[in-house]
Structure formats: structure tokens, C-alpha cells
Amino acid sequence: MALTFSVNSMTAFAEAPASSSATANTSEIVSHLEKAQIEVGKSDFSNAQIHLKAARAASEHIAGGSEAAKQAHAALIQSQIKAKLGDVSGATEQLNKTIALYKSL
């Protein structure tokens, strides 16, 4: 019986950090996206790409199976493509959409 209680309590502790980790990743992603947006506004696409790559790497950890997370990740990829093309208005518009999607998670 004591073994059962210890196993159940370890399971409960194992699940708690997962949601806080996803929240931390989401705030990290939003932070990088906002920094990328500032760099795009200055037409500094090399620094914007650094932040977009960091945001994309962090988003891989929370992509999961939810439809909202998949849409946010796809929007992030589109933001990265627009920034690579040097499209200031397109990248800014896509970044706004991406930031809104990640904030909604």
C-alpha cells in the first residue's frame, strides 16, 4: 500500500512541471517574436532571423498535437519565410498573427 502511494505521488509531481514548462516556452517564443518584429521594423533581417530561429526551436517543444499549436507553428514558419524574403510589411503582418496565436495558447 505504501508503494502505491509513493508511485501515485511521483506521478502527480511529474505532471505539474509539464504545464509550467509549456507556459515558459510560450512566453520565450513570444519574447523572441517581439524582438524579431522590432528588427524587421528596422529592416535588420539578419538579427530578425536569429530571433525567429530561436522561437522556432522553442516552439518544437510545445507543438504537440493541438490544432492551435500547429497553427501557431505554421504561422511562425511563414513569418520566417517572409523575413528571409525581406518583405517588411508581409513579415510584420505575419509576426502580428503569430504573436496573437502564441498568446492564445
What residues does each domain of the chain span?
A: 22-104
Whether residue 86 is predicted with pLDDT greater than 50 in this model: the reply is: yes
Q: Give the pLDDT score at 17.
A: 43
Whether residue 14 is predicted with pLDDT greater than 50 in this model: the reply is: no
Q: Give the pLDDT score at 25.
A: 84
d(CA 55, CA 31): 8
The predicted model scores a pTM of: 0.76
Instruction: Find all residues with CB under 8 Å of 78, minimum gap 6, and list them.
Output: 94, 98
User: Are the beta carbons of 97 and 91 closer than 8 angstroms?
Assistant: no
Domain covering 22-104 in this structure, CATH number? 1.20.120.660
